[in-house]
Structure 1
Amino acid sequence: FSISRHNEYQVLHAIEPLNLGPKPIFVHEQGLLVEWIDGITLTKDGIELEELLPIAATIHQYHSSSIPVVPFSYISRIDHYWLELEGKYVGSEFETLYKQWRSEPSVEQIPLALCHFDLGCYNLVRGEQGVKVIDW
């Protein structure tokens, strides 16, 4: 999903008042330094749905239009992965699948929302200040 530590820095800086993740400290072309979150990485059994839902809702309700990052483009990602195959599957059932995925879904325009894209338990840390989301 074209990881950008600069984008991650921008997101972490923007959501800092929400106290959802680590504070960004420094971004460089070779990486991102964030505050250490002391705690334990959660497992599936380590968090109840009732605790996870408010975290996910807070993330998705954040007005992401103020964050200076390029919005996610489903079509661009599909095209990127297809082009990475360097024409190996042209004319095959995979090209048919690519064309199908590229044209779907056809949904009406919805407001922008902040998305984590990898909100698995391994990116949740429980510490003294509650559950924090890492690896944006």
Structure 2
Amino acid sequence: MESFDQSVLRVLSDVEFITARPLSGGLSNRCWLLELRHHTPRHKPDSSLRSAPQNVSYVWRPNAASSRAFGVSRQHEYQILSLIQSQHIAPAPYRLLESGLLVEWVTGQVVEEEQTTSSDNTKQLPLLSDVELMALQARVHQLPMPTWRLEVKSKAEHYWQFIPEHVKTPLLQSVYADFQYNALPIGFADTCCHHDLGRYNIIQTEDGGYKIIDWEYAAAGDPSLDLALTINANGLDPLMAVNAYCSALQITGTQEWHQAVALWQPWCEFLSLLWFLVGAELWQDDTYTEQALQLLVTLTDK
């Protein structure tokens, strides 16, 4: 098993390293759960009493080959988490380092669409309904907007550079050229967008609320694109999802939103296709290749 490189903590003179373990489930990243001990100072100069050292858990999100290949900026991630920290919808950022980012560990459980039980029927996973998910999506779009933007064609071009030449079949090259040549859909004014609002990135906290994690793709962008990405990531019915989203924001004219989401959906599949091909090269994982081939078939059948 890969060991954690403790050299990243040398600049953190106010903490003591306790433990580290790799986190599973991350697709773009291979992150670590760290336990660090904070040594608090004396309450008063003349006091002989010290506060007990406090152990705190953080997620270490490194700058690595994967973050470069996927075009992830830890500086941007730190900035958006700092910008929205007062909204209590995301992990609090702790420290931005040259080699990565430390953020608060959110205690809780990843939400599911339906109630499920463990094999011993003693543990239930928290439920987040589709309507609640759309309300959370609406809340994201009302957050303060970052200063950088997701440029879809630039993102596609970035992914393309990290796909091996032998993978770029004539069919794949044709699909890539067609999308890069075609005009982007015209949707709505930019808002804050998460761009990866799958249930796998939503935690129900111990107080019953919800926090969204993994803001590495967050940027200003067309909210209808973000909505289309959320629909695809969660396998939602577009009609229901758009209506629920518009209801959450008290939008009465839903037809424009339905049209915009429908126009963005092939672009979402196109970006996902390229993303999976980059992931397949990074992780040498056949499941990424299989997902990419399914998307390629979907796009060429339309």
Whether TM exceeds 0.5 here: the answer is yes
With normalisation by structure 1, the TM-score equals: 0.82
Residue 191 of structure 2 corresponds to which residue in structure 1? 113
Query: Is there any run of 5+ residues in structure 2 with no aligned partner, and where?
Result: 1-69, 115-126, 216-302
Q: Structure 2 vs 1, CA of residues 108 and 119 (structure 1 numbering), >3 Å: closer, same or farther?
A: closer
C-alpha displacement at 1:105, in angstroms?
4.4
Larger RCO (CA under 8 A, 6+ residues apart)? 1
2:178 to 100, 105, 119: 100
- State the 1:86 CA deviation: 5.8
Displacement of 1:95: 2.1
Q: Distance in 2 between matches of 1:98 and 1:54?
A: 34
Identity %, equivalent residues: 30
Tell whether the 8 Å contact from 1:63 to 1:112 is kept in structure 2 after alignment.
no
- The 2-side partners of 1:102 and 1:17 are apart by 38
Residues in 2 aligned to 1:86 and 1:126: alpha-carbon distance in whole angstroms: 39
CA contact (8 A) 1:41 1:123 kept: yes
Return the alpha-carbon distance in structure 2 between the equivalents of residues 16 and 113 of structure 1: 17
Contact 1:78 1:101 in 2 (8 A): no
Output the aligned Cα RMSD.
Answer: 2.1
Distance 1:120 1:108 in 2: 24
Aligned residues: 132
Please give the residue correspondences for 1:9-88 in structure 2 after superposition, counting only pairs within 5 Å. Answer: 9-45=78-114, 46-64=127-145, 67-68=146-147, 70-85=148-163, 88=166
CA–CA separation in structure 1 for the residues paired with 2:94 and 2:172: 43
Contact 2:92 2:104 in 1 (8 A): yes
Match of 1:131 in 2: 210
- Residue 95 of structure 2 aligns to a residue whose secondary structure is strand
Q: Distance in 1 between matches of 2:105 and 2:159?
A: 34
**Structure 1: gaps of 5 or more residues:** none
Question: Is this contact kept in 2: 1:42–1:125, CA < 8 A?
Answer: yes
Cα offset, 1:81, TM superposition: 2.6
**How many Å apart are 1:75 and its aligned residue?**
0.8
SS at match of 1:21: coil
Amino acid at match of 1:50: V
Distance 1:87 1:35, change over 3 A: closer
TM-score by length of 2: 0.40
SS in 1 for 2:79: helix
Equivalent-residue separation in structure 2 for 1:132 and 1:9 (angstroms): 16
SS of structure 2 residue aligned to 1:132: strand
- Could you say which structure has the larger radius of gyration? 2
